[in-house]
Structure 1
Amino acid sequence: MSLLKDFLLQLALIAVITLSYQLFSTERADRTRHAKQVVTFLFGLAVLLCMTFPAHLSPDVRIDIRVVPLLLGTLYGGTTTGIFLSALIMVYRLYLGVDPGLLTTALTLLISMPVILYCRTLFLKANKPKKVVIAVSLSLFYCQVGFILLSIVRDMTVSLLQTNLLYALVASASMLLFTSLNESIREMLARNSKLQEEAKEAEIAFLRSQINPHFLYNTLNSIAILCLKDPRRAEELTLEFSRYLRRSFDFKPIGSPTTLEHELELIQAYLTIEKARFGSRLNVEYEVDAAPGTRVPPLVLQPLVENAVRHGLMSNLRGGTVKITIREEEDASIRFVVEDNGRGMDRFQLESVLVPGESRKGIGLANIGQRIMLLYGNSLQIESEEGRGTRVSFRIPADRTF
């Protein structure tokens, strides 16, 4: 009973470490350069704890289930982790003293590790049931090698045989439990990640569907007005609008980026139509210091420019200037700024403009803000002063595939 309690204590320690590993994998593993080092540390700690609190068969015979964190660390952490854990076991065993057990440990690792590392390649390609079978088989193999070597250096007794059978049972059951747990959690995380991506794409598709009809409505309105005033100019703008549609509605996947050059062409097509309507009341300035091939989210700038023109400049008689600034910064990000010297917004409008449905004067801002947040985790920065104009800016990583 005492022997079983010692094994259960080691199992509890391994369970705590394994849970820590899973928490780390969930929160940080994909976002840190030191993921493998942390995994190595956690399973190394589990090895040390197992060897520090062993089961004592006799005053000179101690046994522990270090094989469990050794296998888990090697299978999930890789070759470097496996070699480190093996070295850690040898160093700690040497610290405990030079005796036949040290030789048994060294030979067991020497024989078992090449097999474990080879089987890891099969483990990584296997599905969950096969992974469990491989992990349990490796634990039984390790225990069998250790048992054979131990029987060579020590006299075999019934008690020793029973202990090794219990050891093999506990080790294999532990590998069955922890491998199944790890794989179940990984499957759950993969499903959640897929669902999050699908939800993000669906929301982005919805936001884009809101933006496109709005631009179409305003453009067709401009052309309709010109049909009465200047039919020839209306014809030219219709052709310009047709070129815009061919560039815009290419039906790429939602996550596919466009180029900065393409996005600027769309803006220029839009401004050509609007300038034909508003004439000298609308002035445009460009300050572009970024590669034309820089990848950007589609339809992210045009709604900001449209908002600046319609609600910033054309809401007063004198009109004004919209300035579009695109600059690559030293921190490998692209900074976009759309500013106007129009009517601006008061404090109440500024607070509500990024809330969907709260302000009709901020058409596009809430949608673009949500898209930038979904894609990059960044937010729109809006500065405005009533009577002096509005400035909208945001940053995205340069040439990032999203």
Structure 2
Amino acid sequence: MNLVLFKDFMLQLAFITTLIFTYQIFFAERSGQKSEKIILSVLFGLSILFCMAFPATVTPYYHTDIRIVPLLLGTLYGGPGTGIILSSVIILYLWYMGFNMGLYSSTLALLFSMPVILLFQNSFIKAKKSKRVQIAFMLLLYYSVAGIASVSLVRGLSFMEVVRIDYLHIVINAAALLFFSMLNEMIREMIRKAQDAEIAFLRSQIKPHFLYNTLNSIAALCVKDPGKAEELTLEFAQYLRRSFDFKHLDSLSTLEDELELVQAYLNIEKVRFGAKLNVEYDVDANLDIRIPPLILQPLVENAVRHGLMSNLTGGTVKISIKRIAGAAISLAVEDNGCGMSKGQLAEILQPNGNKKGVGLRNIIQRIKLIYGTSVHIESVEGTGTKIYFDLPR
């Protein structure tokens, strides 16, 4: 009997493995996006349905499965919404199939256990790898106790009698959860390291890009106004020494530091272009918010160099930073310069596009990798360009 049970559980594990790793491998790039939770709910929901459709037969009147594995992992990684969806899948399936005893015991088990699982979900997300595995395992044990108590109550059996019948089920649940949670954390860590390496590479591109263009601006002043060029060079050197720590450029910066960098760049460009360059700031956000370094300055530089200064009369660049509901901040850089056609924009955004799009392409990739969100671009030829995006909490 135990061998038959083991084979039934292995079939359920095969279903879970296929669907969970389909999610991890093919949808890893969607991390942080709203669609991630939808995909996670669908795949983990299918895992639950497969487990329940092919249960292990303990006795002629008692069937069981390892639905707790996708239920618990889906809730811990997906959050309350995913947990409610997966719990609903279980209850609706049992109701549809007419498994009254199973419906009653499963509903009781979920009522006892889901509030506790959701209570620990936030701690699970914030915890390190080893701690996550421990939290998941402890929650599984709690769910098992709640499940045994529910079965005992509904079927009129003693607690220890249910344990005796269900012990193999509990052991396989524990082993499966440990296996999946540890393997899941290893895959997530590999993906995270790959993304960190790509982000570091992108930042290594943008640092010399900023310095090269800023020093070019100072060099242009050497002919026009050597005294001012010297003054600005010293000012820029002092700024770098004071505020621009290259050793920590791969870590997060503050919004205040990013704005100082933008202002330093614009001060140099205003001296160079004079009245042709106007700047407007609209900032209503906590300046201590942590953000990736060099995500505003390249956009401002693009607006000035390729938007405004392509016009003989110049124009205005507006920098807007706002607090919004559901996110940390919303950032926008807008200019009333020459704008771009759809063809020009598509060319700039190509991976191997022209040099004018280096900063923009870089920021789009970094925002997607770090936050899983998109950068929006609105541009009308002859009117101007607006680039904006939200940074989630």
TM range (shorter): 0.5 to 0.7
Q: Give the unaligned 5+ runs of structure 2.
A: 14-50, 53-64, 103-112, 118-135
Aligned to 2:325: 330
TM-score scaled by structure 2? 0.68
CA-to-aligned-CA distance 1:208-236 (integer Å, 9 cap, x gap): 11111111111111222222332221122
- Looking at both structures, which has the greater relative contact order when contacts are Cα pairs under 8 Å and sequence separation is at least 6? 2
Residue number in structure 1 paired with 2:353: 358
**Aligned residues, how many?**
309
Percent identity between matched residues is 44
Contact 2:253 2:290 in 1 (8 A): yes
Shift of 1:269: 0.2
Deviation at 1:6, TM superposition (A): 7.2
| CA displacement, residues 87-141 of structure 1 (integer Å, 9 cap, x when unaligned) | 31122222xxxxxxx3xx24557xxxxxxxxxxxxxxxxxxxxxxxxxxxxxxxx
Secondary structure in 2 matching 1:382: strand
1:117 alignment counterpart: none
Point out 4+ residue stretches in structure 1 off by more than 6 angstroms.
35-46
2:272 matched residue in structure 1 = 277
Change (3 A) 1:37 1:322: closer
Bigger Rg over Cα: 1
- What SS does the corresponding residue of 2:349 show, helix, strand or coil? coil
- Asked if residue 293 in structure 1 is aligned to residue 288 in structure 2, the reply is yes
What is the alpha-carbon distance in structure 2 between the residues aligned to residue 296 and residue 383 of structure 1?
A: 23
For residues 39-188 of structure 1, the aligned pairs below 5 Å read: 75-77=137-139, 81-94=143-156, 102=157, 105-106=158-159, 143=164, 171-172=167-168, 178-188=173-183
Does the Cα contact within 8 Å between 1:356 and 1:367 map onto a contact in 2?
Answer: no
Letter aligned with residue 148 of structure 2: S
Distance change >3 Å, CA 211–CA 25, structure 1 → 2: farther
- What is the CA–CA distance in structure 1 between the aligned matches of 2:86 and 2:159, rounded to whole Å? 23
1:221 to 212, 216, 219: 216
Taking the aligned partners of 1:78 and 1:179, their CA distance within structure 2 comes to: 7
Counterpart residue number, 1:375: 370
Q: Secondary structure at the match of 2:247?
A: coil
* 1:99 aligned residue: none
- Residue 285 of structure 1: how far off its partner (Å): 0.8
- Structure 1's unaligned 5+ residue stretches are 53-69, 95-101, 110-141, 144-166
Distance 1:353 1:377 in 2: 21
The worse-fitting range, judged by mean Cα deviation, of 224-233 and 37-46 is 37-46
Distance 1:40 1:89, change over 3 A: farther
Give 3-state SS (helix, strand or coil) of 1:372's partner. Answer: helix
Contact 2:320 2:331 in 1 (8 A): yes
CA distance in 1, matches of 2:3, 2:196: 51
Q: Specify the alignment match of 2:108 in structure 1.
A: none
Q: Which amino acid aligns with 1:30?
A: Y
Please tell me whether the aligned partners of residues 68 and 173 of structure 2 are also in contact (alpha carbons under 8 angstroms).
no
Q: Does the 8 Å CA contact 1:349/1:359 hold for their aligned counterparts?
A: no
CA RMSD of aligned residues (A): 3.6
Matches within 5 A, 1:333-352: 333-352=328-347
Residue aligned with 1:353, SS: helix
